[in-house]
Amino acid sequence: MSVYLNRLLIENFRCLPLVDWQPIAGVNILTGPNGIGKTSFLESVHFLSSGKSFRAGGIHSLIRHGQSMVSVYGEILKNGNAHCLGLSKDKTGQMKARLQGHPLAGVSPLSLLLPVVSIHSDSYYLIDLGPEFKRRFLDWLTFHVKPSHLLTWKKYRKILLQANALLKQKEVKREQRHFWYEQLAEVGEALSENRATVFSSLKTAFQTRLETMQLEALQVDIEYRRGWRQGEPLFDAFCESDSRNIRYGVVSIGPHRMDMLIRSHCEEAKKILSRGQKKIVAMALYLSQLEVIHSLTSQWPVICLDDVDSELDKQRLEFVIEAFSEIKTQVFVSSLHPETLKNLFCRNNETSVFHVEQDMGVSF
Ligand SMILES: Nc1ncnc2c1ncn2[C@@H]1O[C@H](COP(=O)(O)OP(=O)(O)O)[C@@H](O)[C@H]1O
Ligand SMILES: [Mg+2]
């Protein structure tokens, strides 16, 4: 099964005023000078799929200066069927998602129709920053192989907020707290089970990927930490942590504290890997994520690669592009050196180079 964008209409997205672009189903290489809008193109594809940016700065920075709204419209072909997706956000953060012209309550149907994996200059955050990035990474993957995970996660978060509110109140009876722990434990066990199943596929794919990318020498390993002690029912763990929960006014353990440890030579990878090594390990993780989605759903997501060739030596870049070349899906890649990438990709893929130009969008 395949999905690809055959038209992208971008309006007031960062420096892009109005662009009507017809990308190819293969590898779309975007090139042009610094600051012309290459990353913004990739970001608009990511936005259409998720309602989010992959850069820091929040939604306001996406809206073109002086404008009140950003919108992206895409036509996709999925397994031979055409779908029209639309997404806009205004300055207040209000979002409007549309599918075939009909309004949607949220973005998740767009995300399922057009899954996008974006790899960019901040992807090494996965190695460097706190557990929330890893939770987001694993939850995104879990949602794409089991869409009901999103509902389970939303339900858990709602109960968690209620339990936290209760823990901040004075003179609450133990039975009341236990009532909320029970509700939270039931959903939390399901949430954690979903993640654990997907994590085990991810770990297998990751180990194979490290070998094919000849990264064994880094001795990288990933471990799933579910957020409370192994082998203990979640309800018991909540009850055990009760006095600490009261002290801090929040539920202190549980699936919302999940982490994915990334180690190299048995130490935290963030402490010992170089920036280039972090980038390549993060890429191996994203490639594993893609493989898991494909093996469990028979579908490849669309891939956005921003400045893929920065910080990688020639051999590493070849390994990375080789890996992406084997994936038969639509790729958007930005680069200052399009010829190098074109040569690396073109052996197996249909490739087109697009020049991003000032106020004009793209041209061949
Ligand atoms: N909200 C915005 N409105 C207008 N221009 C913006 C906005 N956000 C960023 N920019 C400008 O857009 C350009 C960013 O382009 P970018 O996609 O990062 O370029 P490239 O990847 O080609 O280097 C920069 O010149 C930046 O100043
Ligand atoms: Mg850029």
Q: Indicate if the alpha-carbon torsion angle 61, 66, 69, 71 is positive or negative.
A: negative
Nearest ligand to residue 15 Cα: 1
**Atom from ligand 1 closest to the CA of residue 62:** 1
Q: Which residues line ligand 1 (CB under 6 A)?
A: 14-15, 32, 34-40, 61, 63-65, 334
Instruction: Name the burial class of residue 52, with classes exposed (0-12), middle (13-18) and buried (19+) by CB atoms within 10 angstroms of its CB.
Output: middle
Q: Report the separation in Å between the CA atom of 114 and the middle of ligand 1, taken as the mean of its atom positions.
A: 24
Nearest ligand to residue 30 Cα: 1
The answer as to CATH 2.60.40.10 being correct for domain 123-298 is: no
Residue nearest to atom 9 of ligand 1 (CA): 14
Domains of the chain, by residue range, sit at 1-115+299-364, 123-298
Element (DSSP H or E) covering residue 347? none
b/e map 254-280, b = 16+ CB within 10 Å: bbbebbbebbbeeeebbeebeeebbbb
- CA distances in angstroms from 179 to 166, 172, 229, 233, 342, listed in the order given: 11, 12, 21, 15, 60
* Distance in angstroms (rounded) separating the CA atoms of residues 224 and 140: 15
Three-state secondary structure call for residue 223? strand
pLDDT at 361: 55
Per residue of the chain (364 residues), give pLDDT as tens: 689 999 999 999 999 999 999 999 999 999 999 999 999 999 999 999 999 988 877 667 899 999 999 999 999 999 889 999 999 999 988 999 999 999 999 999 999 999 999 998 888 889 998 899 999 999 999 999 999 999 999 999 999 999 999 999 988 899 999 999 999 999 999 999 999 999 999 999 999 999 999 999 999 999 999 999 999 999 999 999 999 999 999 999 999 999 999 999 999 999 999 988 999 999 999 999 999 999 999 999 999 999 888 888 888 888 889 899 889 899 999 999 888 888 888 766 788 999 987 755 555 4
pLDDT at 125: 85
Q: Which fold has domain 1-115+299-364?
A: Rossmann fold (3.40.50)
Residue 345 near residue 351 (C-beta atoms within 8 A) = yes
Q: What is the model's pTM?
A: 0.93
pLDDT at 58: 66
Same fold, 1-115+299-364 and 123-298: no
